Amino acid sequence: MKVAIVGGGAAGMMCVATILEEHKNDVEVFLIEKNVLLGKKVIISGGGRCNVTTGIEDLKLVLSKYPRGSKFLQSAMHRFSPVQVRDWFENHGVPLKCEDDLRVFPVSNDGHDIVGVFEKIFRNSKIDLLFKHNMKNIVKEKNKFIISFKEQKDLEVDKVVMALGGQAYRQTGSTGDGYSILEKLGHKITELAPSLNSFLTQEKWPKELSGLSFEKATIKVKGQKKYQFTGPFLFTHTGVSGPAVFALSSLIAFEKYDKQNPLGILIDVLPDLSLDNLFLELQNLREENLKKTFKNTLHKFLPMSLTEKICENLQISFDKKNVEMSKKDLRIVVEYVKAIPLTVIGRGVGDEFVTAGGVELSEVDPKTMKSKIVPGLYFGGEILNIDGFTGGFNLQASWATGRAVGLALGE
């Protein structure tokens, strides 16, 4: 049996590795990659450190981290869970570490080590690695697939695995080439949108706080209770970023927001203190220190740079004493701290930056990743309508779906 895996990213590499290790005598494998090397996006993920998977072991909790595709992923994830993924890489010679935020990285902090596992497997196996092959089309003729390329001669195979990724990080080759080909083959592609991005804000003052981070903040879309997330965040020179922002951007991936259609967000930088409790604590501190400046009293709760910015935004003089602050003034400050308003006018870059949307999941068998429409066609990774929050969840989905295809092809 001849099998072509289109795409040498996480899902494609894991699919090939599984075939070679589980069914190497039965399958002739062609791995088609438009770049000159494998795993380009894997290498740059997590800032080049490669956030391999998550340290969360509760599968129900892991699956809750996927805004789209969680139910579909259940079978593949049970067969190749984050724990099993970690064991797999460590058994292949790459020691991993789990950081305090439960993100898992190679101990070396180098994504090349992860891709190196697959390169070693491929070197020691019979596999046709077709680099610099830019696919043009796939046609199904009887029981065969004819894959045509922009420059090279056609390739005829029995099975095809589409693992091309989405259209995020276009410089790595993930340009969404597969969508139109799959539509011609009869598959539905859902609406596509970028996800896991930072927010560009209309307000310029965040630039003055660039680099200031919070371990925990709640960020919500103004007037939309269902769209909120609590986690780490930071101010940047163009707006706000960090895991909480990325997660919120994922939840609102299909919302339209730009300069003409701005999106209001509210940031609570003290989510563990209720508005009333913060008011009482601030009032007690004020009464105990009537001669001190209010700025220094508010600083007991917040970094000085943000304290000064809040005072500036609310037109409170830096020299204003606590004795001059009325209860009404305190209430205004507290309400502002618990809901700092910003206006989002665009998407910035993110840590992973994935594509929300893809192949309609009802057309794919969740156990084997086999097409229900085109016999012999399979899917892996981001080309499916699956995406997760930042923290190793998107690579985990790619490893799990790629593994599922590899196992299915040998059964």
> Tens of pLDDT along 244-290?
999 999 999 999 999 999 999 999 999 999 999 999 999 999 999 99
Verify that 175 and 205 share a domain, yes or no. no
The answer to whether 325 and 298 have CB atoms below 8 angstroms apart is: no
pTM: 0.90
Torsion of the alpha carbons at 410, 369, 394 and 200, rounded to the nearest 10: 150
Residue 278: its H or E element: helix 275-288
Confidence of residue 176 (pLDDT cuts 50, 70, 90): low
Regarding predicted confidence, which is higher, 353 or 47? 47
Can you tell me whether residue 381 is helix, strand or coil? helix
For residue 58 the two structure tokens come to: 């509760």
> ∠250-361-118 over CA atoms, to 5°?
80
CATH of the domain at 180: 3.50.50.60
pLDDT of residue 352: 54
Query: Within 13 A of 12's CA, how many CA atoms are on the CB side?
Result: 32
Say if residue 163 is in the same domain as residue 65.
yes
Query: Is residue 280 within a helix (H) or strand (E), and if so which, with residue range?
Result: helix 275-288
Domains in the chain: how many in total?
A: 3
- Give the residue numbers spanning the domain of 224: 197-270+341-347
Q: Residues 153, 209: one domain?
A: no
Select from 307, 326, 347 the last residue of a domain.
347
81 and 113 assigned to the same domain: yes
Of 100-109, 165-174, 206-215, 331-340, least confident by mean pLDDT is 165-174
- What integer pLDDT is reported at residue 349 of this predicted model? 76
Residues 171 and 120 in one domain: yes
Shared domain for 185 and 202, answered yes or no, is no
For residue range 345-373, what is the model confidence (pLDDT) as tens digits? 999 876 556 889 999 999 999 999 999 99
CA distances from 155 to 29, 119, 130, 135 (A): 12, 23, 11, 10
Q: Are residue 300 and residue 286 in the same domain, yes or no?
A: yes
Which candidate, 196, 116, 188, 164, places its Cα nearest to that of 381? 164
| Residue 108 sits in the same domain as residue 33 | yes
Answer yes or no: do 263 and 282 share one domain: no
The separation between CA 140 and the C-alpha centre of its own chain, rounded to angstroms, equals 33
Tell me which of 329, 347, 365 is where a domain ends.
Answer: 347
Q: Are residues 74 and 170 in the same domain?
A: yes
Is residue 171's pLDDT more than 80? Answer: no
Shared domain for 252 and 298, answered yes or no, is: no
Which pLDDT tens digit goes with each residue over 127-153?
A: 999 999 999 999 999 999 999 999 999
Of 347, 372, 398, which residue is a domain's last? Answer: 347
pLDDT score, position 12 = 97
| Of 96, 75, 74, nearest in space to 85 by CA | 96
Looking at the structure, tell me whether residues 261 and 242 fall in a common domain. Answer: yes
Q: For residue range 79-96, what is the model confidence (pLDDT) as tens digits?
A: 999 999 999 999 999 999
